[in-house]
Structure 1
Amino acid sequence: MATKRQRNTFYFKKFSVNHDLCTMKVGTDAVLLGAWVTISSSKHVLDVGTGSGVIALMLAQRTDAQVHIDAIEINEVDANQAKENILSSPWREKISVNHASLQEFRPKEQYDLIVSNPPYFVNSLQSPSQTRTQARHNQELTFNELISNSLRLLNPTGRLAVILPFAEGNIFKTLAIENQLHLIRETAFYSRREKPQERWLFEFSCEEAELQSDQLLLYEKDSIQTEKYINLVKDFYL
């Protein structure tokens, strides 16, 4: 008799995410991007590399019923678990999950917003696990491919939002600007004041706008979360 598999579930205020089968588990990066990105004017959204579906679910929570979110995932097991998570959420009608690569994805409409927590290990040693390598290294989706396909899929006023480690973020920013995307928002993320910057959150636009720059600190002294971080994620974390 087969036993029921043990679930590894991440609980949010209004939904939960099973990620026991996913290559990459729910982490701070995905939650940061889902809470941070500007979403108010977007009606048609694409989540690239959705994994467990957590970013798509966060964006669904933040938007009204008229917004539709497409979520694509190249790993079939991850895509199937994302579908399970969406079907058990309050927003099953708002989100469509597709097992597809960005390069081959051919939607009927262009997007107001594309979000991605992309693979980022450019030159490091690969993981022994093929699926984990695929999720963390950018052989399956290079920075140039993410940028060029975003330009293909965005409407003339559309935006691309990503989160990346500091060094890789600097590379991505240079490539995006070289490809005529305009950086309109950036947040430097630090876990602690005494540590170097760990992440970049970027928002690029197909049209020019004034750049908004700020910083986000996760912890004050004694591992107390900052008020700014708490306010950013308060609608999601229990």
Structure 2
Amino acid sequence: MFRFKQFTIRQDRCPMKVGTDGVLLGAWASTSAADRRVLDIGTGTGLIALMLAQRLPRARIVGVDIDTVEQARENAAASPWGDRLTFRTCAVQTFHDAPFDLIVSNPPFFVDSLTCPDAGRTAARHAVHLTFGELRDAVLRLLTPAGRFALILPVQEAGRFLAVCAGQLQPVRRTDVRTTPRHPAKRSLLELMRPEAAAAVGFERTELIIGTGEHECYTPEYRALTRDFYLKF
């Protein structure tokens, strides 16, 4: 069980547990008061969906996953926002609904590496059931004309995904994440829009360092990003 300031995540029946990637994405994805419909692809425990329910008090959030979503439903029901959260066990390739203002995903990303013995972790971390091309196509089908798609990937896979999206989804924000000042960036937070919408927004690239390098010492930027969620901040 993982406790946040306004909700708790139970995760004993989910292969992928609460991690920094999901928290980063849930806190970093840009939101607008006009957002009314949000989709979380590969919702797992429902963590990112719950973070966005906290940030968007007037939005309805849908989470989809190829694995059972019962634990996500339980976590939502125990939160203050259960009436605005819906979860469906469904491959996003076959998921159909009205368009969404914001789509988020912490997607499978090991494209060419060996799979691991745990089938649940394999599905969550390897692009076995959802290729980058299928993810792009799902976003294009489900995103409103001016909607945003936010995701987090390792730096190398981020480059691959952007290449897959070229000409169809265009980056408007990118934040490369380093664990400490001495380490190279390991993750990229990306926000993309349809090219015609992106042209009016421009492009912003930044960097985020999580820790100073000393034990349990976090940078002011990371604290500011996550302080509405982590109990320790």
TM-score (norm 1): 0.92
1:209-232 deviations in whole A, cap 9, x for unaligned?
A: 210111000111423200000000
- Alignment partner of 1:151 is 2:140: yes
- Alignment partner of 1:119 is 2:111: no
Partners of 2:21 and 2:161 in 1: CA distance = 16
Pairing partner for 1:218 from 210, 219, 222: 210
**Which aligned pairs between 1:60-209 and structure 2 lie closer than 5 A?**
60-64=53-57, 66-76=58-68, 79-107=69-97, 109-178=98-167, 180-206=168-194, 207-208=197-198, 209=201
Partners of 1:222 and 1:171 in 2: CA distance = 33
Give RMSD over aligned pairs: 0.9
Q: For residue 112 of structure 1, what is the amino acid of its counterpart? A: D
- Alignment partner of 1:16 is 2:8: yes
Q: For residue 51 of structure 2, what is the amino acid of its counterpart? A: M
Partners of 1:82 and 1:26 in 2: CA distance = 12
Aligned length: 225
Pairing partner for 1:232 from 203, 225, 230: 225
Does the CA-based 8 Å contact 1:46-1:71 persist in structure 2? yes
Deviation at residue 174 of structure 1 after TM alignment: 1.5
1:53-97 deviations in whole A, cap 9, x for unaligned?
A: 000000000012x31100001102xx1111111111110011100
Percent identical among aligned pairs is: 43
- Alignment partner of 1:45 is 2:38: yes
Deviation at residue 177 of structure 1 after TM alignment: 2.1
1:15-55 deviations in whole A, cap 9, x for unaligned?
A: 00000110100000000000000012321100000000000
Partners of 1:21 and 1:169 in 2: CA distance = 29
Per the alignment, in what secondary structure is the counterpart of residue 222 of structure 1?
coil
Deviation at residue 131 of structure 1 after TM alignment: 1.8
Q: For residue 103 of structure 2, what is the amino acid of its counterpart? A: I
User: What are structure 1's unaligned runs of at least 5 residues?
Assistant: 1-8
User: What are structure 2's unaligned runs of at least 5 residues?
Assistant: none
1:158-188 deviations in whole A, cap 9, x for unaligned?
A: 111000011111111121224x211100001
Per the alignment, in what secondary structure is the counterpart of residue 192 of structure 1?
coil
Per the alignment, in what secondary structure is the counterpart of residue 219 of structure 1?
coil
Partners of 2:19 and 2:214 in 1: CA distance = 22
TM-score (norm 2): 0.94
